[in-house]
């Protein structure tokens, strides 16, 4: 790893030296600094814009030499960027595998779906209480965000049974449907119960009219955060102003 980093550093310094040398050669041709700077940047990025120069490449040996150096710098830059990209992908894959291994080992946990501010806050509160949670997220980017908060997650579609199987539905204690949409929470409930018919589902509900519908889908308990928060605020006000 140290050798790889050393080579990357050498390549980076080589690109800088080539660019500076090309810039000096272009300036030696009599071109103004800002024109030489822009032209060399574009040339190093393999972007052709000959109108910046008052002459063609073949008419001036300095500029022709600078163009050759920029071409070499572009090749090295491509190698550096490609290496960084593949290292990033590899690093993400390793993290994902580690997270998958941790999810596969836990049991008696709670599955939260989908990933949103509500499920993130709930997972953070569960973490404080030393309760295990697995969040079903839609992308690797969301998964890395969960990893940043030290929260386990799996990537999958909340309408797919496989997502809940990957989240350990057969070993989980319960599922919490966290969507803002009651229809989506009903679908989460049905999908989770398909993955594990005996699992307990707690669903967030936005409208009182949908409580019976989500209950028919298989949810054991329904929670309306607005009512819960309102009751808590009421208790605080009542105690403070008694």
Looking at residue 16, which CATH number applies to its domain? 1.10.287
pLDDT band per the 50, 70, 90 thresholds, residue 179: very high
For residue 234, what pLDDT band results from cuts at 50, 70 and 90?
Answer: very low
Residue 107: what are its φ and ψ, rounded to 5°? -150, 160
Instruction: Quickly state the pLDDT bin for 3 (edges 50, 70, 90).
Output: very low
Residue 99 lies in a domain: no
Domain count of the fold of the chain: 2
196: left (phi over 0), alpha (psi -120 to 50) or beta: beta
CATH of the domain at 158: 3.40.50.720
For residue 210, the enclosing domain spans 107-240
**196 in a domain, yes or no?**
yes
Measured in Å, how far apart are the chain's first and last C-alpha atoms?
A: 66
Do 161 and 185 lie in one domain? The reply is yes
Both 122 and 227 in one domain: the answer is yes
Regarding whether 9 and 77 lie in a shared domain, the answer is yes
Buried b / exposed e across 129-163, counting CB within 10 Å, b at 16+? Answer: eeebbbbbbeebebbbbbbeeebbbbbbebeebeb
Question: 110-160: per-residue pLDDT in tens?
Answer: 999 999 999 999 999 999 999 999 999 999 889 988 988 999 999 999 999
Counted residue by residue, the chain has a size of 242
Compute the mean pLDDT over every residue in the chain, rounded to the nearest whole number: 83
Same domain for 69 and 128: no
Q: What is the dihedral of CA 8, 14, 20, 22, to 10 degrees?
A: -120
């Amino acid at each position: 790893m140290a050798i790889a980093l050393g080579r990357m550093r050498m390549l980076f310094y080589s690109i800088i030296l080539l660019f500076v040398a090309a810039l000096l050669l272009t300036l030696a041709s009599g071109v103004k600094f800002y024109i030489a700077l822009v032209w060399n940047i574009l040339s190093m990025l393999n972007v052709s814009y000959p109108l910046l120069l008052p002459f063609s490449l073949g008419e001036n040996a300095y500029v022709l030499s600078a163009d050759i150096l920029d071409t070499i710098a572009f090749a090295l830059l491509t190698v550096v960027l490609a290496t960084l990209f593949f290292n990033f992908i590899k690093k993400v894959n390793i993290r994902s595998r580690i997270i998958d291994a941790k999810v596969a080992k836990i049991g008696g946990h709670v599955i939260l779906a989908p990933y949103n501010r509500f499920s993130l806050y709930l997972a953070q509160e569960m973490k404080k209480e030393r309760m295990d949670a697995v969040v079903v997220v839609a992308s690797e980017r969301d998964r890395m965000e969960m990893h940043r908060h030290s929260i386990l997650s799996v990537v999958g579609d909340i309408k797919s049974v496989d997502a809940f199987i990957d989240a350990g539905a057969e070993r989980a204690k319960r599922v919490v449907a966290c969507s803002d949409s009651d229809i989506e929470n009903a679908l989460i409930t049905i999908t989770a119960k398909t993955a594990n018919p005996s699992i307990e589902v707690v669903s967030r509900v936005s409208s009182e009219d949908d409580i019976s519908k989500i209950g028919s889908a298989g949810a054991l308990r329904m929670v309306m955060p607005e009512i819960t928060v309102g009751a808590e605020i009421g208790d605080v006000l009542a105690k403070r102003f008694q």
